[in-house]
Structure 1
């Protein structure tokens, strides 16, 4: 089964983005977690992690669109 190079690059970028997002959420929840919940700073951290994930995926999508495979 042959997989095109473009597909492999898309998979790698998606896995990296997902790993970074999970790492960011785990870091925020372990740093700002209080008795099973998040404090106000933790909420801001989670929103920031989600925002950075969206921006990263937007940038990755634009970069992939402009590549010649």
Structure 2
């Protein structure tokens, strides 16, 4: 297991109805390939996170499997 922390410098905000951040990540080699399925598990939202996330969307793309 590897722990990944995403951080960025955001100026202090004293008042806002909401804040929106878009984070794009590319994970290479994060999938376990079997002969008939591919297994991918990622848990970006957790009760242990300091800041709650209101909405999460994601796209997972698997490369074409090459038969050798």
Same fold flag (TM > 0.5): no
Larger Rg: 2
Q: So what's the TM-score if we normalise by structure 2?
A: 0.30
